[in-house]
Amino acid sequence: MTIYFVLLADTLPLDFAGPLQVFIEAKRLGLDYEISYVSTSKQLSCDGGLQLANLAPLPPTLAPEDIIVLPGCHRAFDAYSTQDARETIQWLKNVIEDHTVLTICSGAVLAAKAGLLVNKSCTTHYQLIDTMRTAFPESHVLDNRIFVEDTHIISSAGISSGIDMALYFVSTQFGEHIGAQVAQEMLVYFRRTGQDPQLSSWLKYRNHMHRSIHKVQDAICSNVTEHYSLEQLADIAHLSQRQLSRLFSVHLGISPREYLQHIRIGHAKQLLKHSNHSVEIVAQNCGYSSGRQFRRAFTQTTHMSPQQYRLQYSGV
């Protein structure tokens, strides 16, 4: 797998560097993919004057698992009218089939010009929403979103939202625990609006910077089947049980036991959606002593049975 960052003159530096850092951090955790920086030119100047050199040419073909990332450009409609942009648009038309495409900010305009957003829901920088709706009426351009996923296209809004989108992609593609570790390493938290794709269980409750609590969360996320007592969790944090409970309440708004339940239910949802395991096997893999105990906990949390959840969300 290769992740291709497709670059043009006047690329916005944070559109490029933010998602790139997410993929670099994930790769450091052992993920097996390459990162390539491609353009019609060997060198170019980003918005603000940053020079990029030794860029690889646009590849003539893509492997089915390859991923395309389209950062935005300053003054997008002008930037995407140049000869280099026209060549890039034609290349996208030629090589993109069912490949995953990630757009940041005005990168959605480039995707739309290549015909990748026909009958697709998408988003972009708020200042471009109305212009995109007029220029590309066949696309469903949504506002007030951090990012939008529609089949194999994920588009994000302005600039820093590309980090949120990249974290989401890493979490769904490679595992929620990987996304959580990357978010923690980058000292960022995951934002979303009520209509964005659902925040993963591993990323939720991570928008704090207390190292002892993160250590406890890391232990729980890495050992979902472990029957941790409050005393054991306090030992991991090198805190008293009372201190740990108070810090969880202050920083997360829930207790350590509630967080453990939250992670177990989140893991169970993934197994129900993406495996054929029986409910009893799912219960065992999520640390429950019996299928009955699991069904009760799952129903209390989701207001539906595990079987109902599987029927509704399997294959989504």
Chain segment 264-311, per-residue pLDDT in tens: 999 999 899 888 999 999 999 999 999 999 999 999 999 999 999 999
Residue 102 to residue 92: CA distance in whole angstroms? 13
Vertex 199: Cα angle to 198 and 203 (nearest 5):
165
In order of their start, the domains of the chain are 2-185 (3.40.50.880), 211-313 (1.10.10.60)
Residue 194 confidence (pLDDT) above 50: no
Q: In this predicted structure, what is the pLDDT of residue 189?
A: 63
Neighbours of 151 (CB within 10 A): 11
Q: What pTM value is reported for the model?
A: 0.70
Residue 33 to residue 173: CA distance in whole angstroms? 12
Residue 72 to residue 113: CA distance in whole angstroms? 13
Residue 74 to residue 125: CA distance in whole angstroms? 11
Q: In this predicted structure, what is the pLDDT of residue 195?
A: 55
Q: In this predicted structure, what is the pLDDT of residue 157?
A: 87
H-run or E-run covering 36: strand 34-38
